[in-house]
Amino acid sequence: MISFQKWKELENRLKINKTIDEEHLRKIEKHEKYWHQILERLIALVRVLGTQNLAFRGSNDALFASTNGNFLKFVENLAMFDPVMCDEHIQKIRDKEIHANYLGKTIQNEMIQLLSNGIQEKILDDVKTAKYFSVVLDCTSDVSHVEQMTIIVRFVSTSEDKKFEIKEHFLGFIPVSDTTGGGLTAAVLNKFEELSLSVDNLRGQGYDNGSNMKSEVHDALMDIAENISLTGSSGNVSRLEAQGLAKQVGTFSFVTSVLVWFNILYKINLTSKLLQSQEFDLAAASQHLDKAKKYLQSLGNDEEFEKLLVDGREISEELGIPANFESSSAPKCLKKKNRQFSYEGKDEPIRDEKQSFKINFYVAILDTAINSVEERFTQPKEMELKFGFLYHFRSLEGKPSKFVLDKCKALEKSLTHNEVKDINAIEPCGELQAMSRRVPEDSSPKGVLELLLKSDLKESVPNLVVSLRILLTLPVSVASGERSFSKLKLIKTYLRANMTQERLVGLATISIESEVAKQINLGDLVSSF
């Protein structure tokens, strides 16, 4: 009877969930919910500090200390209004009921890395959904002279509401010891393998490796030259060198040289600003680059050179500098060269300082600038030749089928790797001819793709859609890579310079990809914590 009674009591408790196991489970779930709420608030705080480029730590790691930094100060203020933080967490910390409070510097790093990983996973999911992507790489040295390479991925994202967007996202910094082409390639391939990105879907690449420096040269040199605190042999040498350089800066040749650089860099800067938009296409880029090249070529005539000298004289007179080229003590001797034929003339040294400046500096600088423009943008021009016909849909309406087919075959060849083709030349040829009669005048590739998606024609003209997506994926410039380094410098300036590489990259990811960070579900991150 006693056993039967216990059996029935257990049966009833099981029906109404009143067993010891169930009570333990409820306590565990309550405890889990408590920490879930705490961590969700702390990760949200990490997201705010990271996106706003605010420092986390102060000189003290204790709660309610005057110098404990932004993270703990935000926690204290949050506790004033949030019962979860105030009544439970902060009170338990004060009463020393808990020792693991998740407010220390170590857990901050873990939460930064957790949020950074969540952002990166979201970006990688979008890239894999888009399939085709391009990569933008840029390198610069940090304060420890270690070469850092930033990786930016570019792709075309489509949404369920039949809209698409050209996106560029930051995937991290890579320290590289080998800056040769082979070394950088190996670093990129290793990173792709780490991120599970297939190189087979890579359709475009953009590279850069340079830096810009500017300063008030003359004033800085004079400050050094007149600095009496620089004593001893090294100090005297520095002052003498600064005096010599300052003397060279205060000459008509230097003023004219600055004007030459200003005219060149001003035009290049305008073109560069236009190319920095992620919406800019290859056709427009080629047009602006051609204009920049023609402008540089036009500076080479005698009329433009004389205009330069007039401007140089006006500035020199305002600065109190003699408006004439300084004569050297002796003409520069030319290297003796054996003449192989009797009709060859002798090379004579240039004695006219104006002509020497024009030939040895002005013309040489222009030639270098023109060659740099041609070399730097060879790939965009080549891509424009392959994809250029896609910028002129309406013009294809009256073209012979053979003309369109030849263009499609050339595009098919450029989009073929290891016998794997992105498109079939015959199919896009028919699709192009059919669509050329249906698109508005002056339709851009972006406008055509938008029309195809809105009209539910994605499945009807698949090869054309793939071609347009790949075209819009190709990068025009490496501006996004340079912007990531600017953001990195900002983080190093306003945050702690001695932070670990993982924390630095994590904060850079949160800051650069702040819009993606806002889309991250914090509850999902906490569940994976």
Question: Side chain identity at 106, as an amino acid letter?
Answer: T
In this structure, are residues 468 and 439 in contact, taking their beta carbons and an 8 Å threshold? Answer: no
In this structure, are residues 419 and 445 in contact, taking their beta carbons and an 8 Å threshold? Answer: no
| pLDDT value at residue 497 | 47
Per-residue model confidence as pLDDT tens digits over 158-199:
877 777 888 888 888 888 877 777 777 788 888 888 888 888
Mean pLDDT computed over 212-224: 40
> In 177-240, where do the E strands start and end?
202-208
Range of weakest confidence among 20-34, 70-84, 201-215, 502-516: 201-215
> Which pLDDT band holds residue 3 (cuts at 50, 70, 90)?
very high
Mean pLDDT computed over 443-449: 81
Among candidate residues 304, 414, 430, the one with its CA nearest the CA of residue 362: 304
User: In a 3-state reduction of DSSP, which class is residue 228?
Assistant: coil
DSSP letter string, 35-92 = HHHHHHHHHHHHHHHHHTT-----S--STT-TTSHHHHHHHHHHHTT-HIIIIIIIHH
Q: What is the pTM of this model?
A: 0.65
Angle, helix 217-225 to helix 232-249, in steps of 10 degrees = 140
Per-residue model confidence as pLDDT tens digits over 283-310:
666 666 777 778 888 887 888 888 888 8
Say if residue 87's pLDDT is above 70.
Answer: no
| pLDDT value at residue 494 | 45
**Integer Cα distance of 149 and 488 in angstroms:** 12
425 burial (CB, 10 Å; 0-12 / 13-18 / 19+) is: buried
Task: Estimate to the nearest angstrom the gap between the alpha carbon of 262 and the chain centroid.
Answer: 26
Per-residue model confidence as pLDDT tens digits over 499-521:
677 777 788 888 888 888 888 88
Say if residue 369's pLDDT is above 50.
Answer: yes
> Which pLDDT band holds residue 90 (cuts at 50, 70, 90)?
confident
Task: Considering only residues 328 and 76, tell me which one the structure prediction assigns the higher pLDDT.
Answer: 76
| pLDDT value at residue 229 | 52
User: In a 3-state reduction of DSSP, which class is residue 417?
Assistant: strand
Range of weakest confidence among 132-141, 232-241, 368-377, 418-427: 232-241
Say if residue 211's pLDDT is above 50.
Answer: no
Per-residue model confidence as pLDDT tens digits over 384-411:
677 777 777 777 777 788 888 888 888 8
- Any alpha helices (H) in 415-476, and if so which ranges? 426-435, 445-454, 462-473
In this structure, are residues 458 and 466 in contact, taking their beta carbons and an 8 Å threshold? Answer: no
DSSP 335: P
Per-residue model confidence as pLDDT tens digits over 243-258:
555 555 567 777 777 7
Q: Which residues contact 14 (CB under 8 A, 6 or more apart)?
A: none
Distances in Å between the alpha carbon of 292 and those of 276, 383, 477?
15, 19, 15
How would you label 449-484 residue by residue, b for 16+ Cβ within 10 Å and e otherwise? Answer: bbbbbeeebbeebbbbbbbbbbbbbbbbbbbbbbbb
What tokens were used for 519?
A: 């889309």
Say if residue 212's pLDDT is above 50.
Answer: no
| pLDDT value at residue 123 | 92
User: In a 3-state reduction of DSSP, which class is residue 332?
Assistant: coil
What tokens were used for 160?
A: 């369920």
